[in-house]
Amino acid sequence: MKLLTHNMLTSNIIKGVTKGFPLVINPSRVEVQEVDFNPDFITRVLPKLDFTALKQAATQVGHADKLPEALPETADFGEDLQKTLHHVLLQVEVLEGELVCPETGRKFPISNGIPNMLLNEDEVS
């Protein structure tokens, strides 16, 4: 699971959960995988991100050191920041661990890099 994917996941599929975002990451195995840097992609995907959630997730998996507290207001980020975002969004892979619903504490396993957001029938909203 890339942190880009994590940024799109919510647990409000659970009955009674209103927001379910961001999910807490408890990583047990994190890997860095080489992905070609594509500045256009970063520019296009940024408006779709919740940066606070990304920063929190990056901290939880131990890759937040170069990430600023907030994104600059300007559209032009410079290559260093773009590369940092590329690394955090696409190169950091959570292979094993769990995601935790911020409202209920319900745990969702991550196995082989795939988050398992399946619910039991009695949990479905």
Partner 1 sequence: MAGDKSLFSTPTVRHATSRDYDDVYEPAEDSFLMLDALEQELDVLRSMKPTVCVEVGCGSGVCITFLARLLGPQAFCLCTDINPKAADFARRTGRENNVLIHPVLCDLCGAVEYRLQGQVDVLLFNPPYVVTPSSEVSSGGIEASWAGGVKGREVTDRLLPRVGRLLSPRGVFYLIVLRENVVEEIETAMKHQGFTMTTVITRKAGREHLSVVKFHRVR
Site residues (vs partner 1, CB under 8 A): 1-2, 4-5, 7-13, 20-21, 35-36, 38, 40-41, 44-45, 48, 50, 90, 112-119, 121, 124
Q: Based on CB atoms, which residue is closest to partner 1, 16 or 65?
A: 16
Q: Which residues contact 123 (CB under 8 A, 6 or more apart)?
A: 14, 15, 106
The least CB distance from residue 4 to partner 1, in Å, is 6
Comparing CA positions, the residue from 109, 94, 112, 97 lying closest to residue 30 is 94
Name the residue with tokens 């039991």. Answer: 120
For CA atoms 70, 7, 26, 80, the dihedral sign is: negative
Q: Based on CB atoms, which residue is closest to partner 1, 5 or 104?
A: 5
The least CB distance from residue 66 to partner 1, in Å, is 22
Q: Based on CB atoms, which residue is closest to partner 1, 59 or 116?
A: 116
The least CB distance from residue 8 to partner 1, in Å, is 4
- The whole-angstrom separation of Cα 66 and Cα 62 is 11
For 80, the enclosing helix (H) or strand (E) is: helix 79-86
The least CB distance from residue 107 to partner 1, in Å, is 14
Q: Based on CB atoms, which residue is closest to partner 1, 75 or 118?
A: 118
Query: Under DSSP, is residue 53 helix (H, G, I), strand (E, B) or coil?
Result: helix
